[in-house]
Amino acid sequence: MTNAIECLNLTHCYGSKIVYENLNFHVERGKIFGILGKNGMGKTTAINILMGFLRPTAGRCLVLGEESHRIRPETRARIGLLHEGHIQYDFMTITQIERFYAAFYPRWKRQYYYHLVDKLGLSGDHKIAHMSCGQRSQIALGLILAQDPDLMILDDYSMGLDAGYRHLFLDFLLDFVRTDQKTVLMTSHIIQDLENVIDDAIILGYQKLLAQLPVSTFRQTFHAYRFDTPQPVEVLRRESLIRNIETLKQHVTVFGFFGVNELEALLDKNGITHGQITEIPLSFEEAFIGITGKY
């Protein structure tokens, strides 16, 4: 089996509120996969389903070949899980928490933990409750690395971290993952950090999947064009190629997986007169906002 995670026709609702319907995606072994989306689009819900903390309304998820709500303890030992907010046992000290987790994992590598934690320059009896958010993130990551898991699931690793700690976190993660061919599924709300980290991604929108593709393909094929027109352009929203439209007075910016010729054809088809069309270069974050919308 080549996929570490497979989600098939996944549907989840909170009461009458649909989070997503018939969502399908898979994570190949050895790849770093991102679940991207604005706040409230169901990223954490997806992770809770994958780890069996929620049972989906319909559909199924397989994690390392097992039903997500019925993962055996032996298989859980192969999954490193980072909870949103780097939650850990903050009543423990640096030394105590390492000893605690070491008892459960047969492949425990304490040197991974201390390699990361020693950089904090704190003594072993320093309580986690007395640490900053950034320091706690290093503890949480160190514990996951020491577990030596085959699959790492990281829920919003960037929450509460400043730029320095975010980069430190990613540096260690990438070194670990690329060396040992691990699989990672991660979410984050700091999109720009992920551009050179994740291989594949899904982008979640309101109750639907906006895109599922390799990040490199997304960067190459997703474009933004700007033109001026005195006419209303709302009619363009019906066109399947166009993913988003932003207007400011007579200035219009359209986003989608198309070239300038296809856009001109669409404008002509809808009888929209326009000025010169200019392509706007997009960073990864701008492309993300382009597809998800600002609101």
Partner 1 sequence: MALPENTEPLRPLRALIFKEWLKIRWVLWGALLISLGVLTLIALEQRQLFRNNKPFDVWFMVIFRRRLFYAELRFIPLAIGVISGLAQFVPEIIKKRLRLAFHLPVSETGLILTMQLIGLTASLLTSLGLLAGLALITHWYYPAEIVFSAVITLLPWLLAGWMGYSATVTVLIEPVWFRRIVLLAIYFGLIRFFFAGFSYGDYSLSWGWYVLLTLATTMPVFLSGHRFRRGFHT
Binding status of residue 54 toward partner 1 by CB under 8 A? yes
Nearest distance in Å: CB 130, partner 1: 15
CA distance 34 to 25: 11
CA distance 28 to 183: 8
Name the residue with tokens 């899980």.
81
Find, among 118, 136, 125, 120, the residue nearest to 95 by Cα: 125
Nearer to partner 1, 20 or 227 (CB): 20
Size of the site for partner 1 (CB under 8 A): 33
Which are the contacts of 85, defined by CB distance < 8 A and separation ≥ 6?
Answer: 156, 159, 160
Binding status of residue 128 toward partner 1 by CB under 8 A? no
- Tell me which DSSP letter residue 231 carries: S
Options 18, 77, 120, 159; binder of partner 1; rule CB under 8 A: 77
Q: What does the block give as tokens for 173?
A: 């993660």
- Tell me which DSSP letter residue 271 carries: T
Nearest distance in Å: CB 76, partner 1: 5
Binding status of residue 257 toward partner 1 by CB under 8 A? no
Binding status of residue 79 toward partner 1 by CB under 8 A? yes
Binding status of residue 114 toward partner 1 by CB under 8 A? no
Binding status of residue 73 toward partner 1 by CB under 8 A? yes
Options 26, 31, 38, 76; binder of partner 1; rule CB under 8 A: 76
- Sign of the four-CA dihedral 235, 240, 241, 244: positive
Nearest distance in Å: CB 85, partner 1: 7
| Segment contacting partner 1 by CB under 8 A, of 19-27, 76-84, 161-169, 222-230 | 76-84
| Segment contacting partner 1 by CB under 8 A, of 92-100, 117-125, 179-187, 265-273 | 92-100
Options 18, 21, 57, 85; binder of partner 1; rule CB under 8 A: 85
Nearer to partner 1, 149 or 290 (CB): 149
Options 89, 174, 199, 221; binder of partner 1; rule CB under 8 A: 89
Find, among 106, 1, 19, 105, the residue nearest to 62 by Cα: 1
Between the alpha carbon of residue 157 and those of residues 141, 161, 186, the distances in Å are 9, 8, 8
| Segment contacting partner 1 by CB under 8 A, of 19-27, 93-101, 205-213, 268-276 | 93-101
Binding status of residue 16 toward partner 1 by CB under 8 A? no
Find, among 269, 283, 132, the residue nearest to 195 by Cα: 283
- Helices of type H across 12-52: 43-50
Distance of CA 166 to the CA centre of its chain: 14
Binding status of residue 206 toward partner 1 by CB under 8 A? no
CA distance 178 to 30: 8
Distance of CA 292 to the CA centre of its chain: 14
Nearest distance in Å: CB 44, partner 1: 11
Interface residues toward partner 1, by CB under 8 A: 14-15, 48, 51-55, 69, 73-74, 76-77, 79, 81, 83, 85, 87-89, 91-92, 96, 99-108
